[in-house]
Amino acid sequence: MEDNKFQIKSRIFKRERVRENRNNLVIVSKRKEEANKNQIELSFKNPSLEPSHLFIVGRVLVKEWERLLSLYPVTRSFIQIREEGQIRFYISFQVDNDLSSREIKSTISLVTGILEECLEKVLIKADKELPIQEADVVSNKSAEEITGNKMISDNNELISKLHQEIEEQENLLKKLAVQQERLLEPIFEDVVEEKVTTEVVPEKTDRSTDNQKEEMIAVLSMQVTSLNKEIERLRAEAKESQKINLELDKANIKLNEIVQQNKVDKTRLEKISEIEKKLRELKQENSEYRIQLNESQHMIEQYKNSNSHLNESLKRLETTHDEFIKNAQTEMTKLETELKEAEKKILIEVNGRQKLEIQLNDTQVKLGQEIRSGEKREDKIKQLNLDLSRQLKQREKATNEMSDLEELVDQLKADLKLSKVSNDILKDELNAYEEQKAKWQQIDVWQTKYEDLETKFNELQNESLSYRQEIHLLNSQLTSIEEQLEAPVTKEAKKQISYTLEKEVVKEPAKVNSLLNAPLSVVEEDDYDYFSYEEDPYVEEVITEELMNIRKKDQMKDEEEIKELLEYYYEEDFKDIKVDKDEYRKHILSFKFLSFRWSQVFIINEADKNAAFLEWCSDYIDKIESFEEELSLDVKKSFFAKNYVTMDESTYYILKGYSKLSTYLDTYYLKVSYYIDKYFLNEGNR
């Protein structure tokens, strides 16, 4: 937002981003730490004002804030003076709940209006002081030349008189303060009782009768009359305090003349400066008493307005009762439809994951069958080799016996016939052996197919792991949806929602958990001994190489980069930048997994965690939800240029820091733990 006259720019943040340093003008120092803090920034160009004038503007603005916006107490306030002549005013204040857009607009417009009015008054005063100061200088010179040593003799008497007057005025102010506190105590008690009655009356509207309402109004009118009398008393006392202020101003003028005429005497100047300080303190106390009187008057006016609003609120309660019931019924129908749609989406996703697991099981069974058939072929080839070796030995024996059986021709003929028959058999067996040999050469082809199937299996397994993580995130989202649905509905609606969640929605996470806990490979008991997982040295070599690459990365450098990104805002100015849409999506996707990865890191039992860095990150992890809300408000998507988004530079760097932190946790903790558990400790195949 921007004001045209002084070009006042304003911004509001949901947390305290900027803090003061040594060069800033501190108006309200840091008070006790509170949980919810917002911060408003007001920036404008310096219209030739000195730091003392700016300090006055800041004090008046804070006082007006405490008077008009008492629901949001100020915890810190300071002013930054830039070299280029720009002034930035920061006010940190406490809120019980997040401000709506309407409340933000009203507070910003109110504060900018107060600041503009203060600047106008201070500028007018500064313009008037210049000729007065010049006239004072000329008059002082002439007075010094004329009077000279005469005034020095009268200084002691004036100083003693001023001391007496100051003491009397201090006593009067103390008495006024005591009287004011006594008068304000019953007023604040009445206000508290009135607030209690305003809270109790709407609850008892159905029970109370018209006579009770009239009695309440009569009592309240009596209280208002008594308060009016007390206001008149306070006004009379305020007039007396104004007279005292006039006397103080006169004394201050006399002191200024004495100081300008007696520059030689250092001791007297020090006394006069002390007197001036006391006078300033008295003026400040008097102004504070005035502010308290104004606040009490404002509270009494609010008290009167609340009485009139009570009667109107009683009438409105009856009319709005039916509207609330209708709205609750419409919200119930909307919630039921949203629940049904969420259930349908979850069922579709679960069915898709079941299909993927069935495909994985089918590929595993096919791999087992192919391995078995290959082993059977190897056994057959071995048996054929044994038979051939036996037959060759028998043939050698037959050739040796041929020399001994030369005499027996008949036997030789018979042996020759037998040898012919055996030769035919050997030829057939040789042909069969050659066929088996050709089949044996095809084993390399089957081995390459087996390796391809194994790589596909590993890819599917990695995809199943990512699906498991997504299922876990869906479960957490389901629980958060349940919590959100339970908050704004009536008791009957809660019963219906809890009944449907117990019957239908809760079944789906149980199915998902059963699928997660189920083994990837489904093998029959008869074939378990024949098809089992064994350690693969090639896979272990690849995983060890991956672990070594992770360890070679500079973890300390990544941690320093994350710290610089998350603390970037405190060093740079505000400005909007354009971010590539693909890069923005990448950071958002990594940011979405941050909460899940953070919870998984603390489940891992590892000794080499950087506990100090994780403890430092815990503060920023607690602020994820508030940053996500701020991000949704800050990001601006262009209607014409769809390749980029516009956002604040500091918000972009904080988002980038969260994204880097998410990848940091996944790289240095989750992946390492997964590889060690699965491939070295062999816990993944148990």
DSSP letters, 538-560, are HHHHHHHHHHHHHHHS-HHHHHH
Q: How far apart are CA 108 and CA 120, in angstroms?
A: 18
Q: Is the pLDDT of residue 657 over 90?
A: yes
Whether 188 is in a domain gets the answer: no
Does 504 share its domain with 554? no
Does 501 share its domain with 563? no
Q: How far apart are CA 294 and CA 235, in angstroms?
A: 10
Residue 390 banded pLDDT, cuts 50, 70, 90: confident
- Which pLDDT value is given to residue 42? 92
Q: How far apart are CA 427 and CA 421, in angstroms?
A: 10
Instruction: Tell me the C-alpha to C-alpha distance, in Å, between residue 132 and each of 121, 208, 273.
Output: 17, 67, 21
CA-nearest of 304, 308, 316 to 205 is 316
Count of structural domains within the chain: 3
b/e for 562-587, b at 16 or more Cβ within 10 A?
A: bbebbebbeeeebeeeebeeeebeeb
Does 556 share its domain with 649? yes
A 10 A CB-CB count for 371 gives 14
pLDDT digits (tens, 9 = 90+) for 16-32: 888 888 888 899 887 76
Whether 130 is in a domain gets the answer: yes
The rounded mean pLDDT for the chain is 71
Last residue within a domain, chosen from 147, 162, 177: 147
Query: What residues have CB less than 8 Å from 650, skipping those under 6 apart?
Result: 17, 568, 569, 572, 574
- Which pLDDT value is given to residue 112? 92
Least confident residue range of 180-194, 340-354, 469-483, 599-613: 180-194
Residue 634 banded pLDDT, cuts 50, 70, 90: confident
- Which pLDDT value is given to residue 520? 39
Q: Is the pLDDT of residue 144 over 60?
A: no
A 10 A CB-CB count for 10 gives 20
Find the mean pLDDT for residues 132-142: 47
Q: 630 or 217: whose pLDDT is higher?
A: 630
Whether 264 is in a domain gets the answer: no
What length is written for the chain?
686
Greatest C-alpha distance within the chain: 175
Q: Is the pLDDT of residue 493 over 50?
A: no
Least confident residue range of 281-290, 406-415, 510-519: 510-519
- Which pLDDT value is given to residue 534? 45
Instruction: Tell me the C-alpha to C-alpha distance, in Å, between residue 499 and each of 336, 506, 565.
Output: 12, 10, 46
Last residue within a domain, chosen from 129, 147, 165: 147
Least confident residue range of 33-37, 489-493, 512-516: 512-516
Per mean pLDDT, which of 140-154, 495-509, 556-570 is the most reliable? 556-570
Does 500 share its domain with 564? no
Query: What residues have CB less than 8 Å from 303, skipping those under 6 apart?
Result: 190, 191, 194, 223, 224, 227
Q: Is the pLDDT of residue 519 over 70?
A: no
pLDDT digits (tens, 9 = 90+) for 88-133: 999 999 988 888 889 999 999 999 999 998 888 888 877 776 554 4
Least confident residue range of 118-127, 525-534, 604-613, 659-668: 525-534
Does 96 share its domain with 50? yes
Q: What is the DSSP string of 43-98?
A: EEE--S--HHHHHHHHHHHHHHHHHH-TTS-EEEEEEEE-TTSEEEEEEEEE-SSP
- Partners of 648 in the β-ladder: 576
Whether 253 is in a domain gets the answer: no
Question: Using an 8 Å Cβ cutoff, are 9 and 43 in contact?
Answer: yes
Q: How far apart are CA 254 and CA 433, in angstroms?
A: 131
Question: Using an 8 Å Cβ cutoff, are 279 and 163 in contact?
Answer: no
Q: β-strands 25-28, 576-580: how paired?
A: unpaired
CA-nearest of 441, 660, 457 to 564 is 660
- Which pLDDT value is given to residue 297? 72
Does 347 share its domain with 447? yes
CA-nearest of 574, 566, 570, 580 to 646 is 580
Residue 501 banded pLDDT, cuts 50, 70, 90: very low
Does 471 share its domain with 615? no
Least confident residue range of 144-148, 296-300, 506-510: 506-510
**Packed helices 581-592 and 649-665: angle between N→C axes, nearest 10 degrees:** 50
- Which pLDDT value is given to residue 412? 58
Find the mean pLDDT for residues 156-165: 58
Least confident residue range of 48-52, 205-209, 215-219, 668-672: 205-209
A 10 A CB-CB count for 296 gives 20
Q: How far apart are CA 563 and CA 90, in angstroms?
A: 25
Whether 16 is in a domain gets the answer: yes
Does 457 share its domain with 548? no
Whether 283 is in a domain gets the answer: no
Whether 629 is in a domain gets the answer: yes
- Structure-block tokens of residue 368: 């087992």
Does 461 share its domain with 607? no
CA-nearest of 301, 246, 247 to 68 is 301
* 3-class SS of residue 442: coil
Last residue within a domain, chosen from 147, 169, 189: 147
Q: Is the pLDDT of residue 556 over 80?
A: yes
Query: What residues have CB less than 8 Å from 666, skipping those under 6 apart?
Result: 593, 597
- Which pLDDT value is given to residue 680? 58
**Packed helices 624-634 and 649-665: angle between N→C axes, nearest 10 degrees:** 140
pLDDT digits (tens, 9 = 90+) for 234-259: 777 767 766 776 666 566 666 666 65
A 10 A CB-CB count for 505 gives 17
- Which pLDDT value is given to residue 23? 85
Per mean pLDDT, which of 66-80, 191-205, 555-569 is the most reliable? 66-80
Q: What percent of the chain has pLDDT over 70?
A: 52
Residue 586 banded pLDDT, cuts 50, 70, 90: very high
Terminus-to-terminus CA distance in the chain, angstroms? 62
Least confident residue range of 63-67, 276-280, 401-405, 537-541: 537-541
User: Is the torsion defined by CA of 503, 506, 509, 514 positive or negative?
Assistant: negative
* 3-class SS of residue 42: strand
Rg (CA), the chain: 45
Does 611 share its domain with 500? no
User: Is the torsion defined by CA of 517, 522, 527, 531 positive or negative?
Assistant: negative
Residue 527 banded pLDDT, cuts 50, 70, 90: very low
Q: 304 or 668: whose pLDDT is higher?
A: 668
Q: Is the pLDDT of residue 485 over 90?
A: no
pLDDT digits (tens, 9 = 90+) for 2-12: 445 678 899 99
Question: Count of H helices and E strands in the chain?
Answer: 17, 8
Does 502 share its domain with 542? no
Find the mean pLDDT for residues 617-621: 90
Least confident residue range of 289-298, 422-431, 438-447: 438-447
A 10 A CB-CB count for 275 gives 19
Whether 544 is in a domain gets the answer: yes
Question: Using an 8 Å Cβ cutoff, are 569 and 623 in contact?
Answer: no
Q: β-strands 37-45, 86-94: how paired?
A: antiparallel
Query: What residues have CB less than 8 Å from 275, skipping those under 6 apart?
Result: 159, 162, 163, 166, 255
Range of the domain at 406: 335-517
Q: Is the pLDDT of residue 572 over 80?
A: no
Q: How far apart are CA 497 and CA 328, in angstroms?
A: 14
Find the mean pLDDT for residues 598-604: 82
Q: 403 or 536: whose pLDDT is higher?
A: 403
CA-nearest of 438, 424, 436, 433 to 387 is 433
CA-nearest of 528, 534, 535 to 372 is 528
Residue 516 banded pLDDT, cuts 50, 70, 90: very low
Does 511 share its domain with 547? no
